[in-house]
């Protein structure tokens, strides 16, 4: 079982990945970084990021995708802060996905904030890669 990740489907694309707030669980974020890299994406892992740091990183790296990770339940408050910081800087069009422990009832709120995709715990790497590729217009 399992469909192998299509090699190179994200070649030429760049992503930045960050942890939200002080959440310590980096395992999923790093595993997803490696999965995206295997599909050809150039991925920069920022670690813990304040809204200001994220805006600076986006200006510096000019990514196609921002990936945010949270497993502590801080996702609504922290996403709100980050998305409004991106909007305020005119970066509201950037594609943003969120991964981690995201309860079903919070999905609509996140989508309304401008998040483009949500990957809960247990998401498969090949599914994440496919969805990101679709999101970026492959």
Partner 1 sequence: MEQPAEDARIRSASGVPLPEVAVPGTAQRDPMDPAGGPDGGPDDRLGLPGGFPYTRGIRPGMYRERPWTIRQLAGFGTAQETNARYRMLLDGGATGINGVFDYPSLRAFDSDDPRAGADVGRGGVAVDLRGDFDTLFDGIPLDEVSVSLVSSQPIGAVPHLAMYVRSAERRGFAPARLAGTSQNDFLMETAITIAPEALPPAGSFRLACDLAEFALRTMPRWNPVSVSGYNYREAGADAVLEMALCLAHGQAVVRALLDRGFAAEPVLARVTFFLSAHSDFFEEVAKYRALRRMWAHWVRDELGVRDPRAQLLRYHVQTSGVTNSARHAHVNIARSALQGLAAVCGGTQSLHVNGYDEAVCIPSEHAALTALRTQYVLLHETGVAKVADPLGGSYLVEYLTDELEERARRVLERIGELGGIVAATERGWVHAELARTAFADQKAIENGERLVVGVNTQLDGDAEELDRFELPEGSLERQVAALERARSRRDREAAGVALKLVARACRDGENVMPAVLDAVDADVTLGELGRVFRDELGRWEFPLWQEC
Q: Give residues in contact with partner 1 (CB under 8 A).
A: 1-2, 21-27, 30-31, 33-35, 44-45, 47-48, 50, 72-74, 76-78, 81, 101, 103-104, 120-122, 124-126
Output the CA–CA distances (angstroms, integers) from residue 67 to 1, 2, 3, 16, in the order listed. Answer: 27, 23, 23, 6
The two three-digit tokens of residue 45, written as one number: 């892992």
Q: Toward partner 1, which CB reaches closer, 44 or 113?
A: 44
Q: Toward partner 1, which CB reaches closer, 62 or 124?
A: 124
* 138/123 Cα distance (integer angstroms): 20
Helix (H, G, I), strand (E, B) or coil at 89: coil
Q: How far is the CB of 138 from partner 1 (least distance, A)?
A: 20
Write down the H helix ranges in the chain.
27-38, 51-61, 75-88, 107-112, 125-135
Q: How far is the CB of 59 from partner 1 (least distance, A)?
A: 18
Q: How far is the CB of 93 from partner 1 (least distance, A)?
A: 25
Q: Toward partner 1, which CB reaches closer, 70 or 94?
A: 70
């Amino acid at each position: 079982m399992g469909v192998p990740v299509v090699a190179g489907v994200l070649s030429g694309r760049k992503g930045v990945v960050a942890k939200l707030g002080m959440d310590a669980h980096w395992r999923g974020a790093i595993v997803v970084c490696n999965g995206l890299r295997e599909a050809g994406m150039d991925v920069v892992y920022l670690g813990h990021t304040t809204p200001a740091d994220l805006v600076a990183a986006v200006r510096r790296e000019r990514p196609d995708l921002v990936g945010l990770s949270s497993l502590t339940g801080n996702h609504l408050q922290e996403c709100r802060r980050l998305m409004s910081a991106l909007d305020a800087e005119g970066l509201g069009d950037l594609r943003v996905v969120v991964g981690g422990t995201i309860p079903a009832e919070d999905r609509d709120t996140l989508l309304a904030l401008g998040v483009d995709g949500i990957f809960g715990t247990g998401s498969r790497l090949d599914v994440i890669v496919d969805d990101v590729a679709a999101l970026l217009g492959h």
